[in-house]
Amino acid sequence: GAGVSQSPRYKVAKRGQDVALRCDPISGHVSLFWYQQALGQGPEFLTYFQNEAQLDKSGLPSDRFFAERPEGSVSTLKIQRTQQEDSAVYLCASSLGQAFNEQFFGPGTRLTVL
Amino acid sequence: QKEVEQDPGPLSVPEGAIVSLNCTYSNSAFQYFMWYRQYSRKGPELLMYTYSSGNKEDGRFTAQVDKSSKYISLFIRDSQPSDSATYLCAMRSGAGSYQLTFGKGTKLSVIP
């Protein structure tokens, strides 16, 4: 079953390190989303891509967060100079066609910053 | 105050019970309402999707939306241990919108 996959599943970083989180959406899905889910909270929107174009990055919490999807399929969320408050699960979701169709979520990457 | 409020629980019920989960919201622009189920260490999975006010039923699950009260509910009949998970409500506004606003989730345990 080709669902959304994310890697790594778990990442421990020392404060100040850079990290890169990968998302492989469902094949053919045009829209891709990143969400941040803090412990005990619901997911919060970070950014949205339609194919390779980043159409909305209003949810990125600081300029340390950067996302790309250069070929319109795989996406990478990069966090520079990680801080303890960046510790969360980072979820990727994709949807077929228009962005407002059903979003299918991956299992997430759990980032712990020490 | 957050746009979407949801009691985090935890909620513990015996197998076979009827479960009622609820969210309230403040943004009157929300028109599309969803319930997601999230098992531990997994991503959210869409359970129910409702547009505007009314009821929607799917098997043991019923979703209700009351836009006048800004209140949505999910009912689970004949609850099973496999229903043990965190249930997240989510909402978005108009037809062209894509940003989902989630509640913080209610953790449900169904005890055999």
For chain B, what percent of residues have pLDDT higher than 70? 98
Compute the distance between CA of residue B24 and CA of residue B103 in angstroms, rounded to an integer.
Answer: 9
Q: Which of B5-14, B71-80, B90-99 has the lowest mean pLDDT?
A: B90-99
What is the pLDDT confidence band of residue A99, given thresholds at 50, 70 and 90? Answer: low
What integer pLDDT is reported at residue A2 of this predicted model? Answer: 80
| B14 pLDDT higher than 60 | yes
pLDDT digits (tens, 9 = 90+) for B30-84: 999 999 999 999 999 999 989 888 899 999 999 999 999 999 999 999 999 999 9
Q: How far is B107 from chain A (nearest CA, A)?
A: 9
Nearest 5°: the CA angle A95, A100, A104 is 30
Mean pLDDT over residues A12-30, rounded?
Answer: 96
* Structure tokens, A80: 């520079």
Neighbours of B52 (CB within 10 A): 10
Model confidence at A96, pLDDT cuts 50, 70, 90, reads: confident
Predicted pLDDT of residue A71: 94
Q: How far apart are CA A35 and CA B48, in angstroms?
A: 20
B92 and A33 within 8 Å at the Cβ level: the answer is no
Q: Residue A41 and residue B105: Cβ atoms within 8 Å?
A: yes
Say if the Cβ atoms of B6 and A107 lie within 8 Å: no
- What was the pLDDT predicted at B53? 83
Q: Which residues of A touch B4 (CB under 8 A)?
A: 42
Give the up-direction half-sphere exposure of residue B96: CA atoms within 13 A in the CB hemisphere.
0
Q: How far apart, in Å, are the Cα atoms of A13 and each of A46, A59, A65, A82, A85?
A: 20, 22, 15, 8, 12
A68, pLDDT greater than 60? yes
Q: Which residues, in sequence order, are CB contacts of B60 under 8 Å at separation 6+?
A: B76, B77, B78, B79
Cβ pair B102:A93 closer than 8 A:
no
Q: In Å, how far are B40, B46, B80, B103 from B109, measured between CA atoms? A: 12, 19, 9, 18
Average pLDDT over residues A71-98: 94
Nearest residue to B87 via CA among B27, B4, B1: B4
pLDDT of A1 reads 56
- Given 3-state DSSP classes, what are the helix, strand and coil percentages for chain A, each rounded to the nearest 5? 5, 50, 50
The average confidence (pLDDT) of chain A is 94
Question: In chain A, whose CA is at the least distance from the CA of B88?
Answer: A42
